[in-house]
């Protein structure tokens, strides 16, 4: 007899009852021909945290879509910069970073909030919007910012709303009675995301590390495609790098890149079958 017990009731009781359940995560970087969605607050968080993993996944014919909450049109010290122009620059940089990683620009989707303003969006509308995306794409994996393993982690504008909202949408997407007009008008069935891989994890929360040795240079190149996020272009915009400065920065970043057991890694917290905690 093989009774599957309700994830919800078991999940809630697992919070207070002794639990023998342990997640048996699939090996993230070995996935093939799957649909993978990544939700990022800004066009660079995806690159800085996941470019290596994405590059590995792109090579294995996965269908990767990047959803970016904000257009990142505020973060420049250049006094001549305007938001309109910075938005264009950041879009181009994201497209270039994705190209390096192996993701076509058609797969980049912008939720069109302004930088720093995501916190002030209507939270109900935002959950509904992302729930629709999840039900439409029916992803095998969602990558998103870790809201914290047990506590609400973020007090950084955009990151907090992004982290919580993606989680709430994953939860809502599972039940057809949430936002039922999506079934009625769009023909979208509910969808339970089988795997969540959360980035921006603290060291104590990480439970999964992807070895990115083979794609480390790709990751570095993608990170540095966000030219306007780095000195000197963040102070006085220029479209490209001085080769010497670029080289120096590469060395510096390489020296500081996170390692585990002698390998370059990207850290995640994998959430398996249970949404909570």
Give CA–CA dist 242/57, Å, rounded: 31
**Partners of 264 in the β-ladder:** 259
Beta carbons of 93 and 45 less than 8 angstroms apart: no
Closer of 51 and 141 to a copy of itself (Cβ): 51
Listed ranges 24-32, 54-62, 97-105, 168-176: which one lies at the site for a copy of itself (CB under 8 A) = 168-176
In the chain, where does DSSP find H-type helix?
Answer: 7-16, 45-59, 83-101, 123-137, 159-173, 181-186, 216-224, 243-256
> Could you say whether residue 28 binds a copy of itself (CB under 8 A)?
no
- Among residues 33 and 185, whose Cβ is nearest to a copy of itself? 185
| CA 276 – CA 15 distance, rounded (Å) | 8
Tokens standing for residue 1 = 């007899």
Residue 124 vs 238, nearer CB to a copy of itself: 124
Judged by CB under 8 A, the chain residues 69 through 88 that form the site for a copy of itself are 71, 73-77, 79, 81-88
CB of 62 to a copy of itself, least distance (A): 21
Q: What distance in Å separates the CA atoms of residue 212 and residue 76, rounded to the nearest whole number? A: 30
Closer CB to a copy of itself, 30 or 77, in the complex:
77
Instruction: State in angstroms the smallest separation of the CB of 229 from a copy of itself.
Output: 4
Task: Select the residue interacting with a copy of itself from 29, 46, 93, 168 (CB under 8 A).
Answer: 168
Instruction: Pick from 175, 194, 214, 238 the residue near a copy of itself by CB under 8 A.
Output: 175
The pair of three-digit structure tokens given for residue 139, joined into one six-digit string: 């992803």
Q: Which two tokens stand for residue 256?
A: 């500081």
- 93 is a site residue for a copy of itself (CB under 8 A): no
To a copy of itself, the closest distance from the beta carbon of 54 in angstroms equals 14
The DSSP symbol for 174 reads T
Site for a copy of itself in 46-65 (CB under 8 A): 48-49
Q: What binding mask, one character per residue, do residues 225-254 give for a copy of itself by CB under 8 A, x or -?
A: -x--xxxx-x---------xx--xx--xx-
Applying CB under 8 A, among 150, 240, 243, 262 the residue interacting with a copy of itself is 150
Residue of 4, 24, 240, 262 that binds a copy of itself (CB under 8 A): 4
Give the contact letters, 177-216, x = binds to a copy of itself (CB under 8 A), - = no.
xxxxxx-xx----x--------xxxx--------------
* Integer Cα distance of 234 and 211 in angstroms: 31
What 166-174 contacts at long range (C-beta under 8 Å, 24+ apart), as own/partner pairs, is: 166/39, 166/130, 166/142, 167/275, 168/123, 168/127, 169/127, 169/129, 169/130, 169/131, 169/133, 169/134, 170/134, 170/142, 170/196, 170/275, 171/275, 172/127, 172/128, 172/131, 173/131, 173/134, 173/135
Based on C-alpha coordinates, what's the Rg of the chain? 19
CB of 275 to a copy of itself, least distance (A): 8
Task: List the one residue from 31, 36, 55, 267 that touches a copy of itself (CB under 8 A).
Answer: 267
Count of residues of this chain found to bind a copy of itself when the rule CB under 8 A is applied: 105
For a copy of itself, the binding residues in 116-145 under the rule CB under 8 A are: 116-117, 119-125
Token readout for 43 is 């066009």
């Amino acid at each position: 007899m093989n009774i599957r017990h309700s994830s919800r009731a078991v999940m809630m009781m697992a919070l207070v009852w002794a639990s023998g359940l342990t997640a048996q995560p699939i090996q993230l970087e070995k996935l093939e021909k799957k649909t993978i969605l990544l939700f990022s607050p800004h066009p660079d968080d995806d690159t800085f945290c996941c470019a290596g993993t994405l590059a590995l996944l792109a090579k294995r014919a996965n269908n990767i879509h990047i959803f970016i909450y904000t257009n990142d049109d505020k973060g420049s010290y250049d006094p001549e910069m305007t938001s309109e122009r910075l938005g264009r620059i950041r879009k181009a940089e994201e497209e270039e970073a994705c190209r390096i990683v192996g993701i076509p620009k058609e797969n980049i989707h912008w939720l069109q909030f302004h930088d720093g303003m995501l916190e002030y969006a209507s939270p109900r509308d935002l959950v509904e919007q992302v729930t629709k995306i999840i039900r439409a794409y029916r992803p095998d994996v969602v990558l998103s910012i870790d809201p914290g393993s047990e506590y609400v982690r973020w007090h950084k504008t955009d990151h907090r709303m992004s982290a919580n909202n993606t989680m709430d949408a994953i939860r809502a997407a599972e039940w057809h009675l949430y936002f039922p007009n999506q079934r009625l008008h769009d023909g979208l069935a509910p969808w339970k995301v089988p795997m969540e891989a959360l980035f921006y994890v603290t060291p104590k929360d990480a439970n999964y590390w992807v070895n990115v040795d083979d794609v480390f240079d790709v990751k570095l190149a993608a990170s540095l495609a966000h030219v306007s996020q780095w000195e000197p272009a963040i102070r006085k915009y220029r479209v490209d790098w001085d080769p010497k400065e670029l080289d120096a920065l590469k060395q510096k970043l390489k020296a500081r890149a996170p390692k585990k057991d002698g390998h370059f890694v990207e850290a995640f917290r994998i959430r398996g079958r249970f949404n909570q905690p």
